[in-house]
Structure 1
Amino acid sequence: MKRFLLLVLVLVAFCVTDVFAGGTLRLLTWKGYAPKKLVDKFEKETGIKVEVTYSNNEEMIAKLRATRGGGFDLAQPSQDRISSVQAKYKIYRPMDYSKIKTELFIPSMLEAVKKNTLVKGKSYAVPFCWGTSGLIVNKKYAADAKDYTDLLNPKYKGRISYRLKRPTLIGLAFALGYNPFELYSNPKEYKVLMEKIGQKLIDAKDLVKNYWTNGDALLQLLRSEEVYVAMGWDGGGWRLHKENPNIDFVAPKSGALGWIDTFAIPAKAKNIDAAYKWINFMLRPENAAYFTNTEGYFTASKDAEKYLKPDVKDNLNRSFSKADIDNIKWYPPVPAKIESIEAKILDKVKSAR
């Protein structure tokens, strides 16, 4: 009897430890990119525990620089924030594409990310999701707002909000007739352009309700009708449109800014096998579609559209004409000197009175 009880206890202990027999996946990602339902499903399928840390591009870089690529098994930086950072700090490891189920991906997007994350002949990421930033507009009060220049429009004084981040500088540059991406290779000229854009923001500072730093806070400002015109992501605009048909995402006349968030493996990742399993799991059409249906961002999953809800498909058709899609300004990789120029301009705008 004692032997039987001992055997039972051993089996129970084995089962408990075997729940997460695949170890732990330490994921550094954006809020919303690891929905609980998908985390639970992955853990059940694989026996791998998922620990999620929410972050953004700047914090991801800072965390991985501080540890020289340690502390996490998988990160999700934007594709334009990888090659220059990798060349300087070596915080990621090359992607082993033989472990990726490439048939799950939109081929052109996979190739674009390979190309844009290339450093010394090796690529460092695969695409996960994509989207754009542009305008979120309450058309009841700002029906004529069509471009980033409306963030400087006195007509909407006190009802404007945007982030003091690089997309605002870049979007305004395009709206004012410049192409900032063409100047990435010429830091001196880029600085002159950014100083012009920064001064425009300083001159129009009294028009701004606030500079938002949190996406949820921005949505609340629009939801409560404290703000009529804002710079924000398409997903946020579509979420608000579902609540209030007067509010929607508008692709700016000068071109929405397009981004791709990726999967990249930190240099000192411990559970690399789990990282590749999560990537392939998240790109499975039904899982990718769940993410899109929940968060509103489209993914690089080739067949996810089959599982999308009708209203999600409608978002894309309502906000983007074919010409708008053709006019998207996709972010290229960011040279190291460019970000320091932008940071100084943004600090100047923030401190101006």
Structure 2
Amino acid sequence: MTRLLINRRSTLKMLGAGAGALATPAIIRPAFAQSNVLNVTTYDKFIPQSFIDQFRNDTGIEIRVRLTDDQGKQYNALAAEGTSPTTDIVTVTGHRLNQFLKSNLIAKLDSGRLKNWSNLAPAYKDAPQLTVDGSTYGLPLLAGFEGLVRNTDYTKETDSWAIMFDEEFKGLTSYIISDFLSITMRYLGTDGDYVTYENKREEAQKATNEARDFLIKHKPQVRKYYDAGSEIQQMFVNEDVYVAQAWSGPAAKLIMDGHPVELSVPKEGTYGFLYSFNVVENAPNADNAYKFLDALLASPEIGAEMVRQSGFASTFAGVDSALTDREKAASVLPDEQVQRIQFFSPVNRDMKNEMIDRATAEIKAA
């Protein structure tokens, strides 16, 4: 299997391309063709309810949504089902694609079955995160990054992650430990994505331990470690925190809703990611999956509604024309900040996951 390699040029090309409720998750039946249903595992607010309703009216197919909030949980659930999956589509980030492929969990995407494939923004049609040995393994959906978020009423403009460790905001910060650990490594001058540590386990462990100890030392800064985007949104709304690390989607949604929040990429840089919808290997309703993916691509307004709900940037062409000025401003960064975003790489993921997971547990327990 050829590795997925993502360089800065592809990062810039892709980023420059372009609180509704989901259906109540239904019980997913055993894996066999069900003809009039489609089982989708995805994140909250990724599929607009208006699209779900229209798709059912047009096709007679019922979309059953199973919500997830973590790539690892999604992978474990699918792996446990083996060759008899109970879901048809999963939502994978590009840097985790190899993990799913190694276990034969997702199928090649036949873009020829999608008459609306041309409606993708040009930069995403051959997204390197989703291409292996010349084959595509998913429909690019939404792009995002790990950003610095601050309440502009209580903080001054800053260009550094150092604000997360400023004594002035003791007890007023928050982050996802596993995500912020990688950013902290970058802040300290080491490789938070572990690409340069391939076959250098001792060096990787030293860098991980340094970041772990740094976060433990600054643990009094943290009001609460969080897991889901909705949690950090609520903390900002309640003014429980003034600064945080957060995914760009939830932060941009706060800006769209008029909250006094700024989203930025500090001078030390950050990491970006690409979500995709992927057809599961042996999906019981694969034909319905392709109908669903093609329908998603049918109109820029569908992509725009996904942006409004999730806050992430759309991969669909023409979406900007369907967004308001405030919605566009919430997801647009100055060029110099875009230059600071590096897409997560799949290289050396096993080592990274192992060390990050262990350090995360140690930080929580400290």
Q: Shorter-normalised TM-score: what interval?
A: 0.7 to 0.9
1:46 partnered with 2:59: yes
Q: Distance in 1 between matches of 2:130 and 2:205?
A: 25
Verify the 8 A CA contact 2:100 2:106 in the aligned structure 1. Answer: no
CA contact (8 A) 2:46 2:309 kept: no
Distance change in 2, residues 1:136/1:196 (3 Å): same
Question: Structure 1 residues 32 and 184 mapped into 2: Cα distance closer, same or farther (>3 Å)?
Answer: farther
SS at 1:61's partner residue? helix
Contact 1:134 1:148 in 2 (8 A): no
Note the C-alpha offset of 1:110.
Answer: 2.8
Residue of structure 2 equivalent to 1:16: none
SS where residue 125 of structure 2 aligns?
helix
> Which stretches in structure 2 are left out of the alignment for 5+ residues?
1-33
Which of the numbers 80, 96, 100 marks the counterpart of 1:81? Answer: 96
Misfit runs of 4+, over 6 Å: none
* 1:325 and 2:334 aligned: no
- Once residues 245 and 36 of structure 1 are traced to their aligned partners in structure 2, the CA distance between those partners, rounded to angstroms, is 24
Aligned equivalents of 2:153 and 2:267: distance in 1? 19
Query: Which residue of the partner structure matches residue 315 of structure 2?
Result: 300
C-alpha contact 2:146 2:270 (8 A) present in aligned 1: yes
Query: Residue 169 of structure 1 aligns to which amino acid in structure 2?
Result: L
Which secondary structure state, in structure 2, belongs to the residue aligned with residue 262 of structure 1?
A: strand
Structure 2 counterpart of 1:110 = 125
Task: Indicate whether 1:271 and 2:285 are aligned.
Answer: yes
* Cα distance change of structure 1 residues 176 and 144 upon mapping to structure 2, 3 Å threshold: farther
Residue 28 of structure 1 is matched in structure 2 by 41
Partner amino acid, structure 2, of 1:266: V
For the residues of structure 2 that align with 1:267 and 1:46, how far apart are their CA atoms? Answer: 23
**Closer, same or farther in 2 for the Cα pair 1:108/1:171, shift >3 Å?**
same
CA distance in 1, matches of 2:206, 2:199: 10
Q: Which has the higher contact order (CA 8 A, sep 6+)?
A: 2
Work out the percentage of aligned pairs sharing the same amino acid: 22
TM-score normalised by L of structure 2: 0.83
Where in structure 2 are the equivalents of 1:250-261 lying within 5 Å? Answer: 250-261=264-275
Q: Distance in 1 between matches of 2:257 and 2:91?
A: 29
The structure carrying a bigger helix percent of its residues is: 1
The alpha-carbon deviation at position 324 of structure 1 amounts to 0.9
Partner of 2:27: none
| 1:288 aligned partner | 303
**How far 1:190 sits from its partner (Å)?**
2.2
- Aligned counterparts of 1:117 and 1:37: Cα–Cα separation in 2: 28
Q: Which residue of 1 aligns with 2:163?
A: 150
- Alignment of 1:241 with 2:260, yes or no, is no
Q: Which runs of 5+ in 1 are unaligned?
A: 1-20
Pick one of 228, 237, 247 that aligns with 1:223. 237
The separation in 2 between residues aligned to 1:187 and 1:30, in whole angstroms, is 35
Shift of 1:144: 4.2
Q: Distance in 2 between matches of 1:173 and 1:49?
A: 45
Match of 2:357 in 1: 343
- In 1: Cα distance, 2:126 partner to 2:181 partner: 28
